[in-house]
Structures are given as C-alpha cells and as structure tokens.
Amino acid sequence: MDNQQKPTPPSKDPASPAARRPRRTLAIGTLAVVVIATVVALTIFAPNKHPQYLTAHVTRNDLENAVLATGALQAFKQVDVGAQVSGQLKTLKAKLGDKVVKGQWLAEIDPVISENALRQARASEESLRAQQQSTAAQLTQAELAFRRQQAMLPDDATSREAFEAARAALDVQRAALASLAAQIRSARIQIETAQANVGYTRIVAPIDGEVVAIVTQEGQIVKKGDLLAQIDPRPYQVALENAEGTHARDEALLATARIDLKRYQTLLAQDSIASQTVDTQTSLVKQYEGTVKTDQAAIDSAKLNLTYARITAPVSGRVGLRQVDPGNYVTAGDSGGIVVITQLQPMSVIFTTSEDNLPQILKQVNAGQKLSVTAYNRNNTVPLETGSLETLDNQIDTSTGTVKLRATFANQEGLLFPNQFVNTRLLVDVMRNATIVPTPAVLTGSIGQFVYIVKPDNTVTVRKVTIGPVDGERTSIVSGVAVGERVVTDGSDRLREGSTISIPADKPKGASGAHGAAATASAAGASGATAHRGGHKHGASQTAAPAAQ
C-alpha cells in the first residue's frame, strides 16, 4: 500500500479579520471590568454627604436609682477558738469539710469564770467582816477592861502593870480593827474587779491541763454545742474532790461551832459564863460561815474547770486551719488558740460610696426603708446574692470624701466566701414614669450637659438638658427633652448644630428596658462609684457643643 500524506490545512494570515476578532473581544472585556471596578471604588470611598448615625427615641419608663460600688466580703462572725484550760493535744478525730453550728463556741468567755471570782471575792469580804465584828467585840471588852483598870488605879485597887497591860490590849484591838477595815477595802476592790471581768469575752485557757482529744479538723463545719476538743479532766476532777473535802471539813467545824454557841447562849442565860465567851463564839461561827462560802466558790470553780475540759463550738460555721497540732502543749492565756471558726451564714460586705449619695440614702433609711443590695462577681456579670443594707458608718472619710456601708447576705447557697471581692449595687429608690434616654446620648460641653435632637428633616439641634439618676445604660432627664423625640446615641462628637444625618435604623422605643448586671458593669469600675452623678460625663464627654437653640 502506498503511503498517502494528509493534506496540510491552509495557514491563517495574522492580518486577516478572523485573526483580529478574539483580540478585540478581550480588550473590550478588560475595559468593562476596569470601568465597573472604578465605579464601585468611587461609590465605596466617595465621601458621604450625609453620614449615618445611631439614634434612639426618648421613652418613658421606670428607672432604678442605684449606688454602685466594690467591696470585700467578711464573715459575719469569726471566732478564735482557744483552750479554756492548758494542756497537751493528743488526737484529732473530725473529718475535713464538717460544719459547725451556733452553740459550739463563741468569741467570748463563759461569764461563769468571772462570776466565780466575784463570789470568791464576796465570800472573802464576808469573812473579813465577820472577823471585824469579832475584833470589834474584843475591842469593846478591852475598852471595858481598860476603864475598869483606869478607875481602880487612883485608889491603888490595881497595879500600874495591870493598868498598862489593859491599855496595851486596847491598842492592839484598835490596830487589829483598823487592819481589818483596810483588808475589807481591798476585798471591795477585788469585788469590783471581778464584776468588771464578768463581761470578759476573750476565750483563752485559764488553767493548765492535758488535751486528750480534738474532735474537729481543718475545714470542718460544726454546729453550736459540738465538741471541738477534749482536755484530760483528771487533774480537775482531783481539784474538785479536794475542794469538796475542804468544804465538808469546814461545814463540820461550822456545825460544831454553832452547837457550842447554842450551849454558851444557854449558859449565859443562867449567868454561868461571861458574855464575852458568847460574843467570841458568835464571831467564830460567822468566820466559819464565810469559810464555807469560800469553799463553795472553790467547788464551783473546780466544776467549771472540769466542764472546760470539753471545748465546744460557740457559733455555727466552718473550721479554719488549726493553730496547733496534736501533741502540742497549750497554756492558759494563749492568744493563738486551737482553731478559728468562721460563721458563713450570714455574710456581710463593707463598701464605700460618695458623700454626695449620703442624703438620698439617709432619707430612705430614716424613713424605715430596707434598702436592697445585690452582690455581683468580680467581672460584674453574674449576680451572686441579694441582701439588705445593714448600717452606715458614723463619719465621712475626709481624705476620700466617702462613707462606709455594711450590707448583710443570708448566703443560703454558700456562694459568698470571706475576703471575696464583689461588686455591689445598692437600690436607693425607683423613679416611676421617668423620661429616659440612652446614657451615651448625654454629652457634656461648654453649655453643660446636652443632647443632639434629630428634627423631622434629619438635621440635628443641640438641646441643653438636666439629668436625674443614672442606671447603667439609661439616664433620666428632668428637663430638656420630650417623650417621642429622637436623640443621637453614637458619633455625636462629629456633629455640629444643623448637621444633616442619615439614619440606618431605629432602635425599638422600648429598648431601654430593665437593666442587667452587664448594664451596670460600665459604672462599677471604681469603689464607691454611684449611678446618680450630678456631673456625670457620658459618651464623648467635654464635647465643645455649639450654642443650644
């Protein structure tokens, strides 16, 4: 077969019309793209003759007049639990996380300690007064003896020695009586001191002893009356038995003295003995009576020390880190104590506010109103608990111009913790049907506080206003605007009197609504900040406003 060659197609001439047609189409397309891009760029980047601004209507609504501040939570009560007797710690038996309830131990000493001391001082005084009466009787007898010797001396019916002895005996009795008077005054001072100590409230160890058990541990929650620690009671049991033995002995002596007194009184009635014997026995009976009372006070004190071997919780709360470990020896008067109990329910917070807010707060407090206080977290976004204003400080800090306030929270859910930082919102009162604008709409300039009002032709005019309380993003207007008017809320610093604006969209008239924690965040940055600011600067403050129309 012969090899046949395919025919070669004729080549195109570059200068022919068919070759020039694709190039012309590409050029036209490229030019069209450039034109479109130029138009778009000019549309986007060309200066807008009427810039768009955000606006909002003036509304009528209720507004809460609140004071915003920061503070740190405090335990309502914090008790340093110390041993009321001294001794060595032996064991710990409680579990971490247990709770304490009021009654397990408080930051004050049982007044029985001071009451026992008071009873002892009074018993000592009574004993001294009994001795004073006995000495007074002996002084009377000495005076009679001296007078008798003095009367007989001129007639030589007695010797000079007997006379001098009678005089010396009289002087001795007078000195003894004066000494007893001084001792009675000292006893009276001890009584007054004991009376003052009855109100002593610091719980410390009053005596030495050995701690055999501590039944609370770090973090434990205990209730009032729960056992915290056990101290070896044996030394105090022995002391109690000794006191009871002494008391029994002195009671026996008192009984014998009373029997003798009764017998002497019978003999005196029969003129069988001298009256001096009866007087002496009467004084002896009174002395024993005073001694028995002193013994009884010692018994009461020993019983108290025995009960103090059991250390109980005075308040309900959480047990903190223990101050000593088992095996340590604690002594009377140790200020460190054994453990600290913190009462977590309720909790309190101390916060400050400007003295300018004081009149409106006092007005509500003096009227008997219970003001609500809400605690927010550190970021001021989450409400933790709502409580009430408890009290105000009695003076203003002149260095800061602020006053301290205390609020109390029930803390039923346990969300509050001692020393926790919180933001607070004190609700002073609620303004009903207030005229309200968004807070950013209010500016401050050379004419004072003002807003930009949008007129029907979309031009703006400056309107001087008087503001009232501010609640976060909402500001009440006392005068200057009317409900339904439109105000500029953003970009006002670029406006001038008569500027024409365009409005992209309106905010709903009811958008001002109720505040939330986020609404208050912008105003709670500094401690003691208030939502009622007479000179509040909003948005682009210090704007040089043109003259208001």
Burial of 223 (0-12, 13-18, 19+ CB in 10 A): middle
Residue with tokens 């025995």: 306
In CATH, the architecture of 111-200 is: Orthogonal Bundle (1.10)
Q: What is the pLDDT of residue 60?
A: 92
Using a pLDDT cut of 90, give the percent of the chain over it. Answer: 12
Stated as kind and residue range, the H or E segment containing 317 is strand 317-319
Fold classification of 55-60+431-521 is: 2.40.420
Q: Which pTM was predicted? A: 0.45
Q: What is the pLDDT of residue 221?
A: 64
Alpha helices in 270-325 (DSSP H): 275-307
Confidence of residue 524 (pLDDT cuts 50, 70, 90): very low
Distances (CA, A) of 521 to 114, 226, 297, 468, 471: 53, 44, 64, 19, 11
CATH 1.10.287.470 in the chain: give the residue spans.
233-308
Q: What is the pLDDT of residue 230?
A: 61
What confidence tens digit (pLDDT) does each residue in 136-157 have? Answer: 888 888 888 888 888 888 888 8
CATH 2.40.420.20 in the chain: give the residue spans.
55-60+431-521
- Whether pLDDT at 534 is above 90: no
- For residues 446, 450, 455 and 459, what is the CA-based torsion angle, rounded to 10 degrees? 40
Residues 230 and 173: their CA atoms lie apart, in Å, by 53
CATH number of the structural domain 233-308:
1.10.287.470
What confidence tens digit (pLDDT) does each residue in 288-323 have? Answer: 898 899 889 888 888 887 777 777 776 677 776 666
What is the rounded average pLDDT for all residues in the chain? 73
Answer whether 52's CB lies under 8 Å from 505's CB.
Answer: no
